[in-house]
A and B are shown apart, each in its own frame.
Chain A
């Protein structure tokens, strides 16, 4: 699911795409679903960067 979201924002380009993906997930996902993602390094790089941001922002 996260990869699919990232793919749809990818056109915005690296950093911006990751920000948009993170914001989208923050708006629509329950925080426990975000926490339950566990190791996200295997995801598409944009999605992985988005989760890294979400973790920093808490």
Chain B
């Protein structure tokens, strides 16, 4: 049902939000009997019964407002004509939705509205897709008595400042849906209705939408009933003719969208109301930033070259694959299977990722497969497996609506996970308490109608110390949930842990010297967290990308278990994943030491399962990780790498190290949409397909598996899994998948937690949260409900792990007195390969260095000055932004632009357990500068040369 493109129709709108209640209420509407949950509005009940009461100010994404008076009804025994959107149903109620009196009243309302609205429907971009038109038709409006002689707003100037949507006040009916969407759904409070009565007008505060607080999420556009707020693409292209449900390819929230098209031309992406991760909301990236898919930089023809100092030569698929296969075989013959490896992508689908790791293990014959999840969430995998028995977040996103206290640590959801952040803010506005642990004053600490109870602005690199101090308070003050621990956790390990955290050296007072968090604040925060009924922890890369990333994840898990916050709605440990399919890439066996479903490669029984299915023997020895591959390349034992959809040169730490490793290889195959930075070192370029051009699945941060659907023909002719299959076949493997659904069948066959997953089921049910197995046939929104996942020891009890705080080797000193930490912003995405190629650049033209006023002043730096940023590893230059968001002694930047090369500066220190790089702590010095660094200039030169493509012969 969801597979087939639907002819275009607007998404169903029931007028007011769904009411959830155990009590059912029976009533009659226009003589029809029906039963609905208590709390349902009369309007919604009528819509559920198949009717449609005319309405203007109501829409089911917003609380009923009752301002337009178009939705009037008559109810037996009630005086007057109540508004159906604000009237709840009652037992035995008898409602009439159409009477002569109602018709007369409604026409009057419509006439007034229309008298200040142009009548140029035929040339209006919303024509035939306009709720005002619908309402006029429903009330039988035939003429407008007031005329246009009086004052009106028909000449008001439009605001086209936002690159993606325009505001035309002439078409605005001042229903305030947009204002309420911005407040209630998005939580940004950017819009107001300015003026009163006739003069009222929607105002973005400030000059224009672009100049306002607006974050371009599109919620107001989706809510607007007219063409007043509308996507520019509708005006440019026209009304869509079909819609396909698919999943955003940007971040780990995994918003479901309707891709709305004319022919193969994408007209707009509209968040899908039935999407269980986003419930009809979106952010600027998924909603608007899809133009990269057809950017002129996109390469659609395979290319090869003998050496990387030569220009690229465009060739056919057969030649490119033959060239690649010959080189791979030759290297394998000379140096053995261990000289070959591959990198999977958390941007690609589960099916594609699974195939790449299969190609490496079954085709290349080594376990040298790794994924860029290594550089972001590998500590999550390690830490949650060690404590809870499995490597995944415990909750669904909806769970946050039941949380009473929320601890956000090392995450910046309003920028990195915006749609989840909107939900979180909804819950905070309902009264839940917030604790933020972050070196920076992130937006969540204080934004409209949201304020953190505590912001612990710790010194970067001291997460473990802060969490241990919180545990110290909880245990020593008797705030532990003894019942939970007795019932669910290993007793001895708990006692070891409790003894450890109780040591006086772990008190907030003792640790304040390293954490710089005032002990009183820390104690208050710990008490708050332990004292509420439901405490939920959300964390991000600020936790994992540290030398103690894995320890921090375990410290978080310890805290959740100690306070009994596992196994029900409103609690849990929730990693906020960076890229769209980080969870999936990890699940699919992308790490060198484990097969899909987190089973160690040395486990004979698991290996036997795969060996039987694949018909080859597998190596029981864990393979090389990305940094190991690069080291091995420099000593000559590693020579060939197939990289799907990743730009390791830009995203991995210590760019020099990566560049030297790549340069030493003999066969680098880059499979991507663009000639990315890594491709400068490649011998084979295989063009990739965008998420609009392929079918498969992504798994979001809540373990939700959702379909990505092909809505247009791949520009390169092949979906990415087909390219991997063609490479495998060129290497002599007899792969015959006829669709990505067949790959998912293989995954389900070989992976217990995916046993019940198939494309067919996802098409029918929309999404599934793993584990989907015999014990959880319909999936698992919340994990560890009755017991922890039985680990290798088979006991299914939570394990406390002692996490000792060990300072990073990266220290500040006289030469490098400041600590650099890195992050990202809303409008850009990771290395920016996609977002930089869209109009999103309007919000972020370059990476800026945030620095505290005192640090800036002592260095003679003012806002906008160019500064040199140097570490022990390298240096770069960028402009400074002077702000008190960062504490003195700390500087912050993003890494979205290749010209900045922030990773030239980061070191190759990494997490002790997983080698996840320590992006979040680098000792640096900042000094005034007048131009780009030597590396930046060399690099620009190298990139230009490496990207040459020979003119066709």
Which residues of A approach B to under 8 Å, CB–CB? 1, 4-5, 7-8, 10-12, 24, 27-33
- Residues of A near B625 (CB, < 8 A) are 28
Q: Are B622 and A28 in contact (CB under 8 A)?
A: yes
Which residues of B approach A to under 8 Å, CB–CB? 338, 367, 500, 547-548, 551, 592-593, 600, 602, 621-625, 628, 637, 802, 804, 806, 809, 912-915
Distance in angstroms from A7 CB to nearest chain B CB is 5
User: Given A27-B600, A33-B628, A8 and B548 touching (CB < 8 A)?
Assistant: yes
Distance in angstroms from A43 CB to nearest chain B CB is 14
Q: Are B804 and A10 in contact (CB under 8 A)?
A: yes
Q: Are A27 and B622 in contact (CB under 8 A)?
A: yes
For the complex of A and B, the 10 pairs showing the least CB-CB separation, nearest first, are A11-B804, A4-B912, A8-B912, A31-B621, A7-B806, A5-B912, A30-B624, A11-B802, A28-B593, A30-B622
Q: Are A29 and B622 in contact (CB under 8 A)?
A: yes
6 A/B residue pairs, CB under 8 Å, sorted by A: A4-B912, A8-B548, A27-B602, A30-B367, A30-B623, A31-B621
Partner of B913, one of A5, A11, A12, A30: A5
Chain B residues touching A, majority SS: loop
- Residues of B near A31 (CB, < 8 A) are 621
- Residues of A near B551 (CB, < 8 A) are 8
Q: Are A30 and B621 in contact (CB under 8 A)?
A: yes
Alpha-carbon separation in the docked complex, A7 to B547 (Å): 12
Distance in angstroms from B543 CB to nearest chain A CB is 16
Alpha-carbon separation in the docked complex, A28 to B806 (Å): 21
User: Given A28-B593, A33-B628, A7 and B622 touching (CB < 8 A)?
Assistant: no
Q: Are A7 and B912 in contact (CB under 8 A)?
A: yes
Distance in angstroms from A14 CB to nearest chain B CB is 15
Query: Nearest CB to that of A6 among chain B residues?
Result: B912
Among A5, A30, A31, A32, the one with the most B-chain Cβ atoms within 10 Å of its Cβ is A30
Distance in angstroms from A57 CB to nearest chain B CB is 12
- Residues of A near B624 (CB, < 8 A) are 30, 33
Q: Are A8 and B806 in contact (CB under 8 A)?
A: yes
Alpha-carbon separation in the docked complex, A30 to B367 (Å): 9
Alpha-carbon separation in the docked complex, A15 to B864 (Å): 56
Alpha-carbon separation in the docked complex, A29 to B368 (Å): 11
Distance in angstroms from B556 CB to nearest chain A CB is 16
Query: Nearest CB to that of B809 among chain A residues?
Result: A4
Q: Are A24 and B628 in contact (CB under 8 A)?
A: no
- Residues of B near A12 (CB, < 8 A) are 802
Distance in angstroms from A27 CB to nearest chain B CB is 6
Alpha-carbon separation in the docked complex, A12 to B500 (Å): 10
Distance in angstroms from A34 CB to nearest chain B CB is 10
- Residues of A near B602 (CB, < 8 A) are 27
- Residues of A near B806 (CB, < 8 A) are 7-8
Among A8, A10, A24, A27, the one with the most B-chain Cβ atoms within 10 Å of its Cβ is A8
- Residues of B near A24 (CB, < 8 A) are 913
Alpha-carbon separation in the docked complex, A7 to B911 (Å): 12
Alpha-carbon separation in the docked complex, A10 to B809 (Å): 16
Distance in angstroms from B549 CB to nearest chain A CB is 11
User: Given A8-B548, A11-B500, A11-B804, A27 and B912 touching (CB < 8 A)?
Assistant: no
Distance in angstroms from A31 CB to nearest chain B CB is 5
- Residues of B near A10 (CB, < 8 A) are 804
Partner of B593, one of A1, A4, A8, A27: A27
Distance in angstroms from B162 CB to nearest chain A CB is 48
- Residues of B near A8 (CB, < 8 A) are 548, 551, 804, 806, 912-913
Alpha-carbon separation in the docked complex, A28 to B548 (Å): 17
Alpha-carbon separation in the docked complex, A37 to B881 (Å): 45
Alpha-carbon separation in the docked complex, A1 to B802 (Å): 20
Distance in angstroms from B632 CB to nearest chain A CB is 8
Alpha-carbon separation in the docked complex, A4 to B912 (Å): 6
- Residues of A near B914 (CB, < 8 A) are 28
Alpha-carbon separation in the docked complex, A7 to B593 (Å): 22
Query: Nearest CB to that of B635 among chain A residues?
Result: A36
Alpha-carbon separation in the docked complex, A32 to B547 (Å): 24
Alpha-carbon separation in the docked complex, A8 to B803 (Å): 8
Alpha-carbon separation in the docked complex, A27 to B500 (Å): 26
Alpha-carbon separation in the docked complex, A28 to B628 (Å): 11
Distance in angstroms from B590 CB to nearest chain A CB is 14
Distance in angstroms from A52 CB to nearest chain B CB is 20
- Residues of B near A28 (CB, < 8 A) are 593, 622, 625, 913-914
Distance in angstroms from A30 CB to nearest chain B CB is 5
Alpha-carbon separation in the docked complex, A8 to B808 (Å): 11
- Residues of B near A27 (CB, < 8 A) are 593, 600, 602, 622
- Residues of B near A29 (CB, < 8 A) are 622
Distance in angstroms from A55 CB to nearest chain B CB is 16
Taking A1-B912, A30-B623 as given, write out 20 further A-B residue pairs in contact, using a Cβ cutoff of 8 Å, ordered by the A residue number. A1-B915, A4-B547, A4-B809, A4-B912, A8-B804, A8-B912, A10-B804, A11-B500, A11-B802, A11-B804, A24-B913, A27-B622, A28-B593, A28-B625, A30-B367, A30-B592, A30-B621, A31-B621, A32-B637, A33-B624
